[in-house]
A and B are shown apart, each in its own frame.
Chain A
């Protein structure tokens, strides 16, 4: 059942039964973009632009729309199997194409690992400071295995749940922080230079990593051209979400205080008490688990899909290999500093992936089309 095709045939054709409706693309895109980062990004974004960083969020959001537009242009320009692997083959030849494909697959696995590890770190700080994390990671990754082995349908399914859950946990937050907000914090509106704001936009781009899953999702969408407006819509919503939480955090914390806060979003949630539970941040962290699972599943799914079309490897095998690798890595990387460094590397790679590789492919595809007609 995995990936929709029968076990024997490893063809890249996707039967109609396994495609998803165009509007369903919002869910996988949402969960792959919004991850643990939303609990911590406020602190990172203000590093350069201070409390003007909300402008950076908007700039990054707009640039992402360009990227989505480019992605759709690239993917719709070829006729048969519409994914990045085939495009790489066609543009760069079999060998170099596969080299790039392998790098992309690794990048996705790496992304899943970062999501997983950062969440586990949070669990470690808030829940179980001195627990052995190997068993719990194995069980969590078993869950990922279960989700991914159901194919695109179960991956989008868990994404739908994750989206519902995160909406449920964000709306009360907006309402309940109101009495603690100091709008004056936002002023003055412009006291940082353009270069500072751009530097913050660069930091912000890390939060949007995940939009590239579109490269593999695209062929699974029934009438994929129609999904473009949904992709743009979810991008607007994600940008608004980031913007809203950032502005709330700005009004909730003073700048210096925000620099001292590791998990600003959680601290904001923690300020209210409801009758049956105090410390809502504990609930939020647990709810976030579903979100993380969905994010990891989509990344791993994309990686397995990439392995399958590039190297004709049975997805179940690559799935097991990837999950084992993640378990091993997260077992051996234990200190916070390494995690920080690794995610730094990931975000830089992601930045180049989004802002260098994709425009480059875009240009190549456009030139090829001009010269030789449709590819």
Chain B
């Protein structure tokens, strides 16, 4: 009896299953937006989606779709009207903001990205020095929909970019006493070039720093593996300025709060292990004294440049280093507005401790 009843029940269930499939997204019958660009338009936002069309093995053809809408939110339904297959954001890896759009504020755009569970929090954001669409048109020749995100990834690993992605952007955006920053792109001889970092205040693009300052930022934030910078020699008996190339092998910044009451003061200490290969001719890399001289030059140069960089931040009232957060963590009660007022008068002392641990082959 029992068996029979459960069997009929099973049959009913199986019949139901036939009509009960989940939402299908068969991989070759959807369109992936892989890179998206946002630009300010007359009344709203122009979003451009880059979609790869895999026609031939190894060669993707990039397709561009541009829609204008009142806000970021309805760009997707509008995009769907231009496509033969449903559009999906699950493989989105890069969002690029046009200059004017970034200056107007990008909260709505990035919030709509983080709210979509399909979008990876590892995706990258970036700012172009012109309209995003214009910049996105350039990698079309390269037929790689992930060109920009790969470029950021590569530079984080082997270059001067500090680590960043959508999650970290939000970390800095929502974090008290922190401001976020994004990579900044420009065009040089018809090629896209990463030329520094865009510093944001709140959600608005405030100022841009160059690639050398971006190394300093990396140095101050994390272990700056593989970053490199040109350092001028500081010698007593020197007539003309000479430079040498310093590669960072590893570094460790430590922050110490000296005073929390206004004006607060912070001591920054950076330990830096470096490699030096390309030096002016007269320097003998096997000599202890001369290495000490090089170390000294690195220290002096980095210290002064970091001070300059911090004062630049103070001038623009942006806090990419999270100094506010640092003070907050030492105080029971902390007010972001109050801190902002005293941010300009915040005193910082910087000490860099450089050590050359590799000198390449052949002195």
Give me the interface of A with B, judged by CB distance under 8 Å. 125-132, 134-136, 138-139, 142, 180, 182, 184-185, 187-188, 190-191, 253-257, 260, 263, 267, 270-271, 273, 278-279, 316
Contacts and interface: CB of A to CB of B under 8 A. Distances in A.
Contacts of B333: 191
Contacts of A263: 117
Q: Main SS of the interface on chain A?
A: loop
Given A136-B20, A142-B13, A191-B332, A254 B176 contact: yes
A306 to B, nearest CB: 23
Contact of A267 (B2, B167, B168, B325): B167
B120 interface: yes
B329 interface: yes
Given A126-B117, A128-B22, A271 B122 contact: yes
Contact of B16 (A126, A138, A278): A138
A130 B117 CA distance: 14
Nearest to B326: A184
A135 B21 CA distance: 9
B54 interface: no
A270 B13 contact: no
A132 B122 CA distance: 31
Interface of B: 2, 13, 16-17, 19-23, 90, 114, 117, 120-122, 167-168, 170-171, 173-176, 178, 325-326, 328-333
A257 B175 contact: yes
Contacts, number: 79
B21 to A, nearest CB: 8
B13 A139 contact: yes
Given A271-B121, A278-B120, A256 B16 contact: no
B225 to A, nearest CB: 12
Contacts of B170: 257, 260
Given A126-B117, A184-B325, A255 B176 contact: yes
Contacts of A267: 121, 167
Contacts of A185: 329
Contact of B121 (A131, A254, A270): A270
A254 B13 contact: no
Contacts of B171: 182, 253-254, 257
B120 A270 contact: yes
A127 B22 contact: yes
